[in-house]
Amino acid sequence: MTERKRITDIHAYLEQFEDVPGTRVFTAARARKGYHINQCAMSLMKPENRERFKADERAYLEEWNLSEEARQAILDRDYNALLDMGGNIYFLSKIISTDGLSFAEAVSSMTEHNFEDYKAMMAAGGRSPEGVRSIKGKY
Amino acid sequence: MARITAGIASSHVPLLGMAVDQGKTGDDYFGPIFAGYEWTKDFEKQEKPDVVILVYNDHASAFDMKIVPTFAIGCGESYKSADEGFGPRPVPDVEGHPDLAWHIAQSLILDEFDMTIINEMEVDHGLTVPLSMMFGTPDEWPARVIPLAVNVVTYPVPSGNRCWALGEAIGRAVESFPEDLNVQIWGTGGMSHQLQGPRAGLLNREWDNKFMDLLIGDTDEARWIEHIEYIRETGTEGIEMVMWLIMRGALGKKTRCLHRHYHIPCSNTAIGHLVLEPKPAG
């Protein structure tokens, strides 16, 4: 076994993640910030909660310890804004399922493409990592 | 004596489960994906594994943010399919193997891997989609399953090296179980995909295939790949590939590739699939 030196300093480890364009890595800081957003989304795994949410989204969201900004982002299905507030896509996916949307359609709403163009990009091999690996390194 | 006879890697995209449940596996979109699993379905019919140790990640179904275990092993009798927001998948209950699971759990803790024990939970597409891919649509699953859930959501997730070492320890634990059992270990998730932010839709055929190459033969290079490399090269959700390393570690020093399949795209994701067998070094 050829042992390699790994980054074990937590500050250096976390700093790397801020260098990836168009990406929010779900760090502990984001997990703390978005805790109630994610738990609220999770609650939609129960059919009775989905029914209540669908009947009156605003009233459902009032029951949760969320900022007004977060409530509005959920009402708007503004997933990029929710990511900025500490939302994580695995949790937010419960909202996508509740809406009966395909995952790809919801994911496409976070990109520069509409759904049709996004599907075409995926069919053609997806987004290339070329140029979007690193902000600082520009590669 | 129990022995690990094969390791299988596979993506676990939820859309594949829907394709199975809605009978679309032969259509133009899904046909080429499922064709790459036909070989494995035949292999499994011949091999008839008694137990599958199924390494997967829970997608915020059994665990929410209240508790985030890094490595958790299912020691329960059986597990039901989770409701992920559109009703539970109509698949058979997953039967556990509590004797072997508890043996592995105890052995791992003695071997300094501080496992979380799960007695009751529901299992989501991360676990049931691979079962459908490898076994099709039987009335009951033909093998017992030991779920091994890995946190690949909240950072830091476990390092590649730690995952590989856990696999090695699982290998040792299985070998010390007295009952004669044919055991497989499956590593699921991946390959390249990013489901979030403006960079969503990233795929990387070249890197994914290089990663598959590194799981074959006697190299252990893949255990040293840093998290940042997975994210830069394969997207945020590509990090799921560390779970393949648990499977690879459990197969010992050297492997032989029996079957390999790669397809782009399935929804937002690159599909990768490997069937490996352990090979004595030499």
**The pTM of the whole model exceeds 0.90:** yes
Q: Which residue type occupies B52?
A: V
Q: Are B249 and B260 in contact (CB under 8 A)?
A: no
Select from A23, A35, A102 the Cβ nearest to the Cβ of B199. Answer: A23
Q: Are B261 and B273 in contact (CB under 8 A)?
A: yes
CATH number at residue B28: 3.40.830.10
| Cβ-Cβ contacts under 8 Å, A111 against chain B | 198-201
The yes-or-no verdict on residue B37 having pLDDT over 70 is yes
pLDDT band at B138 (very low <50, low <70, confident <90, very high): very high
Cα–Cα dist B178/B164, whole Å? 24
Q: Is B127:B80 a contact under the CB 8 Å cutoff? A: no
- Segment A49-101, tens digit of pLDDT: 999 999 999 999 999 999 999 999 999 999 999 999 999 999 999 999 999 99
Side-chain-side CA neighbours of residue A134 (13 Å): 9
Task: Write down the pLDDT at residue B244.
Answer: 98
**The Cα angle at residue A121 between residues A115 and A123, in degrees rounded to 5:** 100
Q: Across the interface, which of B197, B203, B204 has its CB nearest the CB of A22?
A: B197
* B69 token code pair: 């275990």
* The token pair that represents A105 in the structure block: 């359609």
Contact between B151 and B157 under an 8 Å Cβ cutoff? The reply is yes
Distances (CA, A) of B113 to A100, A138, B156, B174: 40, 39, 17, 15
Output the pLDDT for position B62: 87
Pick from B18-22, B157-161, B171-175: least confident: B18-22
Report pLDDT digits (tens) over B199-219: 999 999 999 999 999 999 999
Q: Using the Cα atoms of residue B245, residue B249, residue B254 and residue B258 in order, give the sign of their dihedral.
A: negative
Instruction: Assign A1 a pLDDT band (cuts: 50, 70, 90).
Output: very low
HEC assignment per residue over chain A: CCCCCCCCCHHHHHHHHCCCCCCCCCCHHHHHHCHHHHHHHHHHHCHHHHHHHHHCHHHHHHCCCCCHHHHHHHHHCCHHHHHHCCCCHHHHHHHHHHCCCCHHHHHHCCCCCCHHHHHHHHHCCCECCCCCCCCCCCC
Average pLDDT value for chain B: 96
Res A8: pLDDT: 87
User: Do B44 and B142 contact (CB within 8 A), yes or no?
Assistant: yes
Give the tens place of pLDDT for each residue, A19-31: 999 999 999 999 9
Q: What is the pLDDT of residue B87?
A: 83
Q: How many domains does chain B have?
A: 1
Task: Reduce the DSSP state of residue B128 to 3 states and report it.
Answer: helix
Q: CB–CB of A17 and B155 under 8 A?
A: yes
Residue numbers of the domain that contains B270: 3-279
Interchain pair B268, A129: CB under 8 A:
no
Q: Which residues of A touch B87 (CB under 8 A)?
A: 47
Q: Measure in Å the smallest separation between the Cα of B211 and chain A Cα atoms.
A: 16
Using CA coordinates, name the residue in chain B closest to A29.
B155
Among residues B89, B53, B277, B67, which one has the least CA distance to residue B167? B53
**Could you give the C-alpha distances from A83 to A23, A78, A108, B61, in angstroms and in order?**
9, 9, 14, 19
Distances (CA, A) of A10 to A26, A129, B157, B165: 14, 26, 12, 21
Chain segment B236-271, per-residue pLDDT in tens: 999 999 999 999 999 999 999 999 999 999 999 999
- Across B46-68, average pLDDT: 92
3-state secondary structure of B82: coil
pLDDT score for A3: 62
Instruction: Output the CA–CA distances (angstroms, integers) from residue B268 to A124, A131, B67, B152, in the order listed.
Output: 12, 19, 28, 18
Q: In this predicted structure, what is the pLDDT of residue A20? A: 97
Statement: residue B227 has pLDDT above 90: yes
* pLDDT at residue B281, rounded to an integer: 67
Predicted confidence band of residue B83 (pLDDT cuts 50, 70, 90): confident
Torsion angles phi and psi, residue B92, rounded to 5: -60, 155
**pLDDT over 70 percentage in chain B:** 99
Q: Which of residues 91-120 of A touch B (CB under 8 A)?
A: 91, 93-98, 100, 102-104, 107-108, 110-113, 118
At B272, which helix (H) or strand (E)? strand B269-279
- How far is Cα B172 from Cα B104, in angstroms, rounded to an integer? 9
ipTM: 0.95
